[in-house]
Structure 1
Amino acid sequence: MSKELIFAVEDEKNIQQLIKYNLEANGFSVITFDTGEELLEECKYNIPNLFLLDIMLPGIDGLEVCRQLRQNVVTQSIPVIILTAKNEEFDKVLGLELGADDYITKPFSVRELIARVKALFRRVHTSIENYSEIIRFENISIDCSRREVFKDDKLLDMPFKEFELLKLLVMNKGKVLSREILLEKVWGFDYYGETRTVDVHIRYLRQKIEDNDSNPFYIETIRGIGYRFNDKGVSGK
């Protein structure tokens, strides 16, 4: 069973160990870092489901790490929680302005940390599961409640997994989704297939919705990561 992966950067070893032990005890997978530079370097090879960033760090601080994560197309949609020992409102507001999703002020309780992390994951998952609009883009229409896709007003043959894959991509339009995330959300935690399964279904989808599947417009390949749905001209009605 796949676990949500969390990257946590904290230079105080005792707090770092506290975070890792308690998050793993609650079913998460955690990789810790001493500096922001180390975390950003690891993001070149591995992408988590959530970031925990301490503000006060040696080298670049947590706010600068957050800013760089939000400027990177691969990590810009990954949730971020800021950890800060400061009580000034300025730090909290600045963190949120830079793209953080939540913040925790130190000293914090373990229960609060776990509750904040679970709440943030719950918001992300609910936004995916509750998406039931009719979405239209160019000559394509997706009826999420009826599970039907039309192109030029013609109903397309869309098997269950292809529909779920298309729905997930469209719901996250403009965001990069890794093959692992697509596999997990569409095929489920207990699916042990290879990520090539995603590539095959993407090819099928492109053949159906793209005007030229050899030069796709809607479903973009992000080399070495996964796929992104082009949100230009897309609207929900």
Structure 2
Amino acid sequence: MRNCILVIEHDPSVSRFMQLKLEEAGFSCIVDNSGDSAVDMAGQRQAELIVLDPDEPLKNGPEILTKVREVSPIPVIYLSADGSVDAKVNALNAGADDYMTKPYATKELIARIHSALRRHEEPKVIVDPAFTIGDLSIYPDRHEVRAGDEIIDLTKKEFDLLLFLAKNKNRVIKREEILEKVWGYGYAGKTNIVDVYVRYLRSKIDEKVGKKYIHTVRGIGYAARD
């Protein structure tokens, strides 16, 4: 499961119901019936979002929010039976990211959790590729190949072959060497497997992108060229 949600709710039956619904939606969930763990979990980044219901007998919602905000920007969804403007303003000013008035639909709560997590998601940094063939970018650490902004979906062996060709760009490589380096010394299958996988790559990359990256050198083998 992904994205740990901390639920602060004094009523065990309500918190258990929320936990089940959140887990059904694919989240992991930790329940705290007192609010005592909010600051520690937020500060140690053990949760990605807090659902805070500080109604009776807790009543210390703004105080919990203030303490959490001192240690973390973790998103907090505030639940309360008080639908007054003042209550909403106080909670938002104390650091709540969202405010829902009870009773609420569980479906809406889950949608708001998704929305809050998206807003707080750290931007993904795409580093320079380790290898390129023309405008084809190959990222070994992520096992990813891109043609411009488009991701090319490859199997592991297709990726291994392309990566080996990219590492030896502009060098003509014999089929025997490719077989040894990509399939290994102990490979006992058909010797034309290199040709088969080059065709796979061409169908997924060259033909799709409209540009030739892998060139055949008759009687010898293959070369990757910009």
Tell me the TM-score normalised to structure 2 length.
0.51
Cα separation, 2, equivalents of 1:46 and 1:122: 17
Pairwise CA RMSD of aligned residues? 2.8
Q: What do the CA deviations read for 1:127-166 (whole angstroms, capped 9, x no partner)?
A: 614x7xxxxxxxxxxxx7x849xxxxxxxxxx987xxxxx
Following TM superposition, by how much is the alpha carbon of 1:43 offset from its aligned partner in structure 2, in angstroms? 5.2
Matched, 1:64 2:63: yes
Residue segments in structure 2 that go unaligned for 5+ positions in a row: 130-138, 142-226
Deviating more after overlay: 103-112 vs 60-69: 60-69
Instruction: From the superposition, tell whether residues 71 and 45 of structure 1 become closer, same or farther in structure 2 (CA, over 3 Å).
Output: closer
Cα separation, 2, equivalents of 1:98 and 1:147: 41
Cα separation, 1, equivalents of 2:73 and 2:4: 15
Q: What do the CA deviations read for 1:99-150 (whole angstroms, capped 9, x no partner)?
A: 111111110011111111111112223x614x7xxxxxxxxxxxx7x849xx
**Which one scores higher on RCO, CA 8 angstroms, separation ≥ 6?**
1
Q: What do the CA deviations read for 1:159-185 (whole angstroms, capped 9, x no partner)?
A: 987xxxxxxxxxxxxxxxxxxxxxxxx
Cα separation, 1, equivalents of 2:93 and 2:43: 24
| Counterpart pick for 1:119 among 112, 115, 120 | 115
Q: What residue is the counterpart of 2:92 in the other structure?
A: 96
Cα separation, 1, equivalents of 2:57 and 2:37: 11
Q: Which amino acid aligns with 2:10?
A: D
Residue segments in structure 1 that go unaligned for 5+ positions in a row: 132-143, 149-158, 162-237
Cα separation, 2, equivalents of 1:160 and 1:124: 28
Runs of 4 or more, structure 1, over 4 Å off, are: 41-46
- Secondary structure of the residue that 1:122 maps to in structure 2? helix
Within 5 Å, give how 1:140-179 maps onto structure 2: 147=128
- Secondary structure of the residue that 1:87 maps to in structure 2? coil
User: Is contact 2:77-2:99 (8 Å) kept?
Assistant: yes
Q: What do the CA deviations read for 1:183-235 (whole angstroms, capped 9, x no partner)?
A: xxxxxxxxxxxxxxxxxxxxxxxxxxxxxxxxxxxxxxxxxxxxxxxxxxxxx
User: Is contact 2:42-2:74 (8 Å) kept?
Assistant: no
Equivalences, count: 133
- Secondary structure of the residue that 1:31 maps to in structure 2? strand
Cα separation, 2, equivalents of 1:47 and 1:88: 32
Q: What residue is the counterpart of 1:78 in the other structure?
A: 74
Matched, 1:32 2:31: yes
Instruction: From the superposition, tell whether residues 128 and 98 of structure 1 become closer, same or farther in structure 2 (CA, over 3 Å).
Output: same
Matched, 1:128 2:140: no
Q: What residue is the counterpart of 1:53 in the other structure?
A: 52
Tell me the TM-score normalised to structure 1 length.
0.49
Q: Which amino acid aligns with 1:50?
A: L
| % identical equivalent positions | 30
